[in-house]
Amino acid sequence: MTAVQERAYRMMHEIDVSVGVLPLDPFSKGLYAQGSYTAHFTDFFAWQVARGGYAYTVKTSLRSQLERDFGVLPPAFEEIQFFVGSDALFKPFYGKLSVVDKWDLHFEVFFIVGVTVFKFNVPDVALGRAFRPGVNLGLGGRLFLSKVLSLRLDVTDNVVIPLGAGQNISNVMAMTLSLGINIGATE
Amino acid sequence: MTISDLHALALARGRTDVLRALIGLCLLVPTLAAAQLEDLDNPGSVAAIQERAFRMRHELDLSVGVLPIDAFYVGLFAQVSYTAHFSDTVAWQIGRAAYNYAARTGLRENLERKFGVLPTAFEEVQFFLGSDLIWTPFHGKLSVMNRSVVHGELFLILGGTLFKFTNAFRPAVNVGLGGRVVLSQNVSFRLDLTDNVVVPVGGGSITLTNVLATTLSLAINFGAPE
At A105-126, the pLDDT tens digits run 999 999 999 999 999 987 655 5
| Residues B156, B76 share a domain | yes
Per-window interface: B 175-204 vs A, CB < 8 A:
none
Cross-chain Cβ contact A26/B149 below 8 Å: no
CATH number, domain with residue B217: 2.40.160.20
Cross-chain Cβ contact A5/B144 below 8 Å: no
| Residues B80, B14 share a domain | no
Interface residue B50 vs chain A (CB under 8 A):
yes
In this structure, are residues A108 and A93 in contact, taking their beta carbons and an 8 Å threshold?
A: yes
| Residues B174, B91 share a domain | yes
Q: Which residues of A touch B88 (CB under 8 A)?
A: 101
* Facing residue for B143 by CB, picked from A4, A62, A102: A4
| Residues B200, B161 share a domain | yes
Q: How does pLDDT run across B18-31, given as a tens digit for each residue? A: 666 666 666 665 55
Interface residue B106 vs chain A (CB under 8 A):
no
How high is the ipTM of this complex? 0.73
3-state secondary structure chain A: CCCCCCCCCCCCEEEEEEEEEECCCCCEEEEEEEEEEEEECCCCEEEEEEEEEEEEEEECHHHHHHHHHCCCCHHHCCEEEEEEEEEEEEEEEEEEEEECCCEEEEEEEEEEEEEEEEEEECCCCCHHHHEEEEEEEEEEEEEECCCCEEEEEEEEEEEECCCCCCCCCEEEEEEEEEEEEEECCCC
pLDDT at B107: 73
Interface residue B208 vs chain A (CB under 8 A):
no
- Pick the residue from chain A with its C-alpha nearest to B147: A4
Give how many domains chain B has, as a whole number.
Answer: 2
| Residue B102 falls inside a structural domain | yes
pLDDT at B36: 44
| Residues B26, B103 share a domain | no
| Probe site for chain A from B45, B49, B73 (most A CB atoms < 10 A) | B49
Band the pLDDT of B42: cuts 50, 70, 90.
very low
| Residues B157, B68 share a domain | yes
Interface residue B140 vs chain A (CB under 8 A):
yes
- Pick the residue from chain A with its C-alpha nearest to B117: A70
Interface residue B42 vs chain A (CB under 8 A):
no
| Residues B213, B163 share a domain | yes
pLDDT at B126: 96
In this structure, are residues B155 and B133 in contact, taking their beta carbons and an 8 Å threshold?
A: no
Q: Which residues of A touch B89 (CB under 8 A)?
A: 100
| Residues B21, B127 share a domain | no
Q: Which residues of B touch A92 (CB under 8 A)?
A: 144-145
Interface residue B118 vs chain A (CB under 8 A):
no
- The share of chain B scoring above pLDDT 90, in percent, equals 54
| Residues B183, B140 share a domain | yes
Contacts for A111 with CB less than 8 Å, ≥ 6 apart: A89, A90, A91, A92, A137, A138, A139, A140
Considering only A131-140, A159-168, B73-82, B214-223, which range has the smallest mean pLDDT? A159-168
C-alpha distance from A25 to closest chain B C-alpha (Å)? 9
Residue-range definition of the domain harbouring residue B211: 58-222
Q: How does pLDDT run across A28-83, given as a tens digit for each residue? A: 899 999 999 999 999 999 999 999 999 999 988 777 777 777 676 666 678 899 99
| Residues B87, B33 share a domain | no
Cross-chain Cβ contact B71/A26 below 8 Å: yes
CATH classification (class only), A13-183: mainly beta
